[in-house]
Structure 1
Amino acid sequence: MSKKIAVINDLSGLGRCSLTAAIPVLSVMGVSPCPLPTAVLTAQTGYPSYYCDDLTDKMDIFTEEWKKQEVAFSGIYTGFLANTEQVDKIFHFLDAFYNEDNFLLVDPVMGDNGETYPIFTDTFLQEMKRLCEKADILTPNLTEACLLANSDYQQFTATTNPDGLLDQIATLGRKLLNKPNKHVIITGIHLEIDQVPSMGNLHVYQDGCNFSSYPCVHGSYSGTGDLFASCLTGGIARGEEIKDIIETAAQFIGKSLIDTKADNTPTREGVNFEQNLGMLISRFSKS
């Protein structure tokens, strides 16, 4: 029986993010994505104009209908939430489907590059903290990790030494390890390695941390976090070691970013990942 992942995220018509990133990535990894949309948008929120249809009042319907089908999920993955009320809807979903035989991965979508997104409020942050405490795997970017840990983002921009910066970020990540066997992966870390601009992900866990990186492609592209979290979710569902799937995700996203830059794709249109899905097919058809 194929493994199923409940993907609680938005559907954006333009921007290659959220469900339009998660569905193809999970599918080629041999895992069945089961979308529970939090909102339907004409375009991701980085576009100058977009329409958002908030689906808060539909979320419990999905939960109750899936309960009737007695569905069992290998994992639950949450992404973009349209408002604070949706956290309660997710907890209702978790009461029905989250158990000791699966896992919860939370991608706490709140901001990037030191700035918060339009949905952000202090109340939203408090609700997101509540959800993140429940998670087994947490994938914030540096901005989101600072928000969750009540830390100042600017302190990380002042450090130029790569080892010193990673030590600081590891300390930040440990503040979010609120339960045994939790994994925090802080994504999209910009730094120079041997004078080469790089981007990487720092995996922090109870017994230590690991850093993986790839050459940086300048520009903040929509959906990179979604691609990473989707790869991670699929790999964990398949029983992969987290450090191994992080490396695979980095290679896949790094190559896709190089192609995106070469094609002069506007950053708001997201990453040209489709032509590199074969990397994941090749990797996971052998395991």
Structure 2
Amino acid sequence: MKKIAVLNDLSGLGKCSLTAAIPVISAMGVQACPLPTAILSNQTGYASYYCDDYTQHMDAIMDEWEKRGFRPDGIYTGFLAGEKQADKILEFIHRFSSSDTSILVDPVMGDQGRAYDIYSPQLCEKMRALISQAQVITPNLTEALLLLYGKEEMEKKWASLLQLSGKEYLKEIESLGSRLHEQYQVPGIVITGVDDQDGEIKQIGNLIWENNEETWVFSEKTGGSYSGTGDLFASVLCGGMVQEICLKALVHKAVRFLEKAIRDAVKEGTDRNDGVCFEKYLYTLWED
């Protein structure tokens, strides 16, 4: 069975990070091998939370895995608490990857034109080093701008983007994918969760940049922003990458999966911090 090392935090409440990745990767017929970067009572969107930083324990886990000759088919990294953890991820890639390892990096640093509290220029530099090791990255629009320009310039670029509409807006985002590839030599880029409200129907777009081609995958926007949707999306992609499924097909699969889960969350009136109702649709990841 194929194996993916999943380096992410474990949040007891909020359906994100490892509690999102493990069931999705497993449903796709791949073994998820978690290496926690932190243990949280609940994800950080809630009013309060307890966090136990696991950075100091990561070396011991890596040492034990190395003793057992562990060689994952894929490596998936998500939320990192700071630049020290990013160094550990880079060390993990050095110790456990080969030329055949599929690496997906979700450079979690911000959303909706705002950098998260964890953001620092040093973390951003480490994320740039990480994405340079990846076959696929899944930044949202804010994170794409942070990777290219840093925080202050990102805020200016975000404001400028909001002044555009229709084809101009989408075209400018397409250019970001091209710039990310040119600057960091990432083969596959998916800029996720792009709001497209130019038409009568509100849509969410995901831009795929691969082989010098841009492809948009849209879905109707239902409800607002929910915890863990980015983690679920990236997990579908990583689960398929190690099975050599093409990136476009995986993005379509992830979008169909999330459409159902978000629709049910809206119907049930689920709080955004509690995540989406994805569990009963896990079977579709295998069937599709």
Give the TM-score range, shorter chain.
over 0.9
Give the Cα separation in 1 of the matches to 2:241 and 2:187: 13
Structure 1 residue 231 displacement after superposition:
0.2
Of the structure 1 ranges 205-214 and 72-81, higher mean CA displacement relative to structure 2 is found in 205-214
1:234 aligns to 2:239 (yes or no): yes
In structure 2, C-alpha distance between the alignment counterparts of 1:188 and 1:42, rounded to whole Å: 27
Partner SS state of residue 132, structure 2 = helix
| Superposition map of 1:246-265 within 5 A | 246-265=251-270
1:110, 1:181 → 2: CA distance?
A: 18
1:170-224 deviation digits (Å, cap 9, x = unpaired): 1011111146561110000110364210112101123211110111013110001
- Provide the residue aligned with 2:287 in structure 1: 282
Q: Quote the residue 2:133 is aligned against.
A: 134
Contact 1:181 1:206 in 2 (8 A): no
Match of 2:168 in 1: 164
- Aligned partner of 1:17 in structure 2 is 16
How has the CA–CA distance of structure 1 residues 93 and 181 changed in structure 2, closer, same or farther, with 3 Å as cutoff?
Answer: closer
> Deviation string for 1:52-94 (max 9, x for gaps)?
0000011111211111110121110000111110111111111
2:177 counterpart (173, 177, 185) = 173
Equivalent position of 2:43 in the other structure:
44
- The match for 1:184 among 181, 185, 189 is 189
Residue of structure 2 equivalent to 1:154: 159
Residue 86 of structure 1: SS of its match in structure 2?
A: helix
Trace 1:22-101 onto structure 2 (pairs within 5 A).
22-101=21-100
How far apart in 1 are the matches of 2:210 and 2:51? 36
Q: Give the total of aligned pairs.
A: 281
Tell me the CA shift for residue 227 of structure 1: 0.5
Cα separation, 2, equivalents of 1:123 and 1:218:
35
Residues 71 and 97, structure 2, Cα contact 8 Å, conserved in 1: no
Judge conservation of contact 1:82–1:119 (CA < 8 Å) in 2: yes
Q: Which residue of 2 aligns with 1:118?
A: 117
Say whether the 8 Å CA contact 1:180–1:206 is kept in structure 2. Answer: no
Where does structure 1 lack aligned partners over 5 or more consecutive residues?
none
Residues in 2 aligned to 1:207 and 1:56: alpha-carbon distance in whole angstroms: 37
- Quote the Cα distance in structure 2 between the aligned partners of 1:143 and 1:244: 24
Contact 1:106 1:139 in 2 (8 A): yes
**Do the aligned partners of 1:174 and 1:205 also contact (CA within 8 Å) in 2?**
no
Cα distance in 2, alignment partners of residues 184 and 175 from structure 1 = 11
RMSD, matched Cα: 1.3
Instruction: Say which SS state the counterpart of residue 7 (structure 2) adopts.
Output: strand
Taking structure 1 as the reference length, what is the TM-score of the superposition?
0.95
Q: Is the 8 A contact 2:207 2:214 kept in 1?
A: yes
Deviation at 1:155, TM superposition (A): 2.0
Q: Which runs of 5+ in 2 are unaligned?
A: none
SS in structure 2 at match of 1:209? strand
If each structure's helix is expressed as a fraction of its own residues, which one has the higher value?
Answer: 2
